[in-house]
Amino acid sequence: MAVNDTLEGTHKIIQEAKEQQQNSGLVPTLNDFSQELTTLNLGPTHPATHGIFQNILQMDGERIISGVPTIGYIHRAFEKIAERRPFYQITPLTDRMNYCSSPINNMGWHMTVEKLLGVTVPKRAQYMRVIAMELARITDHLICNSILGVDTGAFTGFLYVFQEREKVYEIYEEICGARLTTNMGRVGGMERDFSDVAIQKLRDWLKTFPAVMKEFESMFNRNRIFMDRVVNVGPITAERALNYGFTGPNLRAAGVDYDVRVMNPYSSYEDFDFEIPVGTKGDTYDRFMVRNEEIWQSLRIINQALENLPEGPFHADAPHYYLPPKQAVYKNMEALIYHFKIIMGEIEAPVGEVYHSVEGGNGELGFYLISDGGRTPYRLHFRRPCFIYYQAYPEMVVGSSLSDAIVTLSSMNVIAGELDA
C-alpha cells in the first residue's frame, strides 16, 4: 500500500510539472511540431544522388514542401576551354560530359565539325559509329535502370547487368583502346577499322546479353515491391515536360515521341528499322520501362548495322582534316605535313555557325559551334539535356516523400558531368 501511495504521489508531481511546463509555453506541443519545417541537405555528397549536386529540401516530416537545387560543384568551364582548343582537342572534353555514354558525345562532336568542314563520312564509318553509339546508349540505360533498382533496395539486378556493361567496355577497348572516357573516332571517320576481335566480342555479346536483359526485366518489370515504389512517383505531364525542355527517354515517358534519330536522322539512322517506345504518365515506372525498351531497340539497330556493315574505307578521304596513321607520318612526306598541320590546329576551317544534335543517352545533345575561321571555335555551346531537365526536379518531387524523391532523381538519370559541363 505504502509503495502504491508513493508512486501515485510521484505521478501526481510529474503530471503537475508537465502541465506547468506546457502552460508556460516553453515546451512545444503536437500542434507546434506540425508547423515546424526541417531543412534537409540532400547532397552535395550523398550516396543516392550519384553525383555531386545539392538539393536543399524543406521537409514537413516525410513530405517535401519545397526544393532548391544547387549545381556547379564539378563545373570545369568546358565552353571556355573549348575556345582555346583545336577541334580535335575538344573531343576529350565531350567525353567528360555524360561519362556513361562517352561515344555518343564524341560522335556528336565529330559530326558537328564534319558538318562545318563539309566532310562526308563513308557509309562503313557511319555504321561503325551507329554501333558504338547504340552500345553507349545501352550502357547508359543499363546504369540508370539498375541503379534505380539499387535505390529501391534491389541490388541483384545491378550486379547482373554490370557484368554486361563490363563486356561492352571490353568492346570499346577493342574499338578505340579506352573504356570510360573513350575519345573514340576522329573528325572524318573512325581512327581504325573494327578488328576481328572486336567483331567477335560484339557478336558474342549480342548472343549472351538478351538473356541477361530478359532476366533483369523479369526481376523488375512486374515486381510488386518495385512497382509499389515507382508507379505514380515523380510524374510530369507531356505539356510541362515540353515546357521544361525535356528530351530523350524522360520526354518519351511522358508520351511525346520526339527522338532526334528519327526526326533529324544523322549517321545513316534512316537505314535502320526500330521503334520509339513512349510512356503515358511520365512517372518513374514509365521512365524505367521506356529505357528498358530502348535497350531492346538499340540491340535491333546494332544487329542490323553489324549484318549490313558495308565494305569500304572507315574514314573520309579528307587528308586536310583526318589525322593520318602514325606509321605513315614517319615514312610519308605528305602524312607528316598533314599530321603537323592538324596537330598545330592549322586546318582551314570555314567561317560559319553550325548546330548539330544527336540523341544522347539523356536526350537531345546539341553542339552549337561558331567558327571565325581560326584554329579554335569562336564560341562552342553544348546543349546538355541533363542541365535543361534537372530544373524540373523540384516541381516533380514537391508533395512527395523523401524516398520518392530519391527514386525520381535516380530515374531522371542526372549525370553530374553533363549537368555542370
Partner 1 sequence: MAENTQESAAAPQEAAAPQDPQAAKNAQLLALLQRLFGADTFTDVEEPYGLLTVTTTRERIHEIMAGLQQDQELQMNFLTTMCGIHYPENEGKELGMIYHVHSLVNNLRLRIKIFFPIADPVVPTLTDLYATANWMEREAYDFYGIIFTGHPNLIRILNVEDMDYHPMRKEYALEDGTREDKTDLFFGR
Query: Counting contacts by CB under 8 A, is residue 397 touching partner 1?
Result: no
Q: Which of 191, 192, 368, 403 binds partner 1 (CB under 8 A)?
A: 368
| Dist. CA 42–CA 37, nearest whole Å | 15
| Residue labelled with grid coordinates 515486381 | 223
Q: Give me 260's grid cell.
A: 532526334
- Rg (alpha carbons) of the chain, rounded to whole number: 27
Residue 352 in the binding site for partner 1 (CB under 8 A) = yes
CA–CA distance from 225 to each of 156, 221, 371 (Å)? 14, 10, 53
Residues 272-291 that bind partner 1 (CB under 8 A): none
Tell me if 379 contacts partner 1 by CB under 8 A: yes
Identify the helix (H) or strand (E) that includes residue 340.
helix 333-343
State the amino acid at position 367 in one-letter form: F
Could you tell me how many residues make up the chain? 421
Helix, coil or strand: residue 183:
coil
Nearer to partner 1, 202 or 415 (CB): 415
Q: How far is residue 355's CA from residue 312's CA, in Å, rounded to a whole number?
A: 29
Among positions 57, 104, 116, 278, the unique one binding partner 1 when judged by CB under 8 A? 116
Between the CA of residue 234 and those of 50, 237, 394, 398, 415, what are the distances in Å? 18, 10, 10, 9, 18
Asked if residue 255 binds partner 1 (CB under 8 A), the reply is no
Shortest separation between residue 375's beta carbon and partner 1, angstroms: 6
Q: In the complex, what is the shortest distance from the CB of residue 109 to partner 1, in angstroms, rounded to a whole number?
A: 15
Nearer to partner 1, 10 or 391 (CB): 391
Q: Please report how close the Cβ of residue 328 comes to partner 1 at its closest, in angstroms.
A: 26
Q: Does 392 bind partner 1 (CB under 8 A)?
A: yes
CB 200 within 8 A of CB 193: no
Q: Is 150 in the site for partner 1 (CB under 8 A)?
A: no
Of 114 and 151, nearer to partner 1 (C-beta) is: 114
Smallest gap from Cβ 314 to partner 1, in A, equals 25
The strand pairing partners of 40, in sequence order, are 57
| Residue 387 makes contact with partner 1 by CB under 8 A | yes
388 lines the binding site for partner 1 (CB under 8 A): yes
Answer for which of 67, 185, 360, 366 binds partner 1 (CB under 8 A) is 366
For 226-284, the DSSP string reads: HHHHHTTSS---HHHHHHTT--HHHHHHTT----HHHHS--TTGGGS-------SS-SH
Task: Give least dist CB 362 to partner 1, A.
Answer: 14
Complex with partner 1: residue 259 or 294, whichever CB lies closer: 259
**Segment near partner 1 (CB under 8 A); pick from 93-101, 148-156, 364-372, 406-414:** 364-372
Segment interacting with partner 1 (CB under 8 A) among 43-51, 211-219, 276-284, 370-378? 370-378
SS3 377: coil
368 within 8 A of 355, measured Cβ to Cβ: yes
* Strand-strand pairing, 351-359 and 364-372: antiparallel
Give whole-number Cα distances, 232 to 14, 144, 201, 227, in Å: 48, 18, 40, 9
What does the block give as the cell for 295? 535497350
Measured from the CB atom, the residue of 80 and 320 that comes closer to partner 1 is 80
Given a contact cutoff of 8 angstroms between Cβ atoms, the answer to whether 177 and 190 are in contact is no
Stretch that binds partner 1, among 131-139, 187-195, 210-218, 388-396 (CB under 8 A): 388-396
Counting contacts by CB under 8 A, is residue 15 touching partner 1?
A: no
Near partner 1 by CB under 8 A, which window of 170-178, 323-331, 350-358, 399-407? 350-358
Smallest distance, partner 1 to C-beta of residue 188, A: 17
- Residues near partner 1 (CB under 8 A), total: 46
Determine, following the binding rule CB under 8 A, whether residue 115 of this chain makes contact with partner 1: yes
Three cell numbers at 23?
502552460
Residue 53 interacts with partner 1 (CB under 8 A): yes or no: no
State the nearest-atom distance from the C-beta of 17 to partner 1, in Å.
Answer: 49
Chain mean position to CA 251? 14
The verdict on 386 binding partner 1 (CB under 8 A) reads no
Nearest to 394 by CA among 407, 380, 409, 375: 409
Position 79 contacts partner 1 (CB under 8 A): yes
Q: Is 243 in the site for partner 1 (CB under 8 A)?
A: yes
By CB under 8 A, name the binding residues for partner 1: 71-72, 75, 77, 79-81, 83-86, 115-116, 240, 242-245, 256, 258, 263-264, 345, 352-355, 357, 364, 366, 368, 370, 374-376, 379, 381, 383, 387-388, 390-392, 395, 420-421
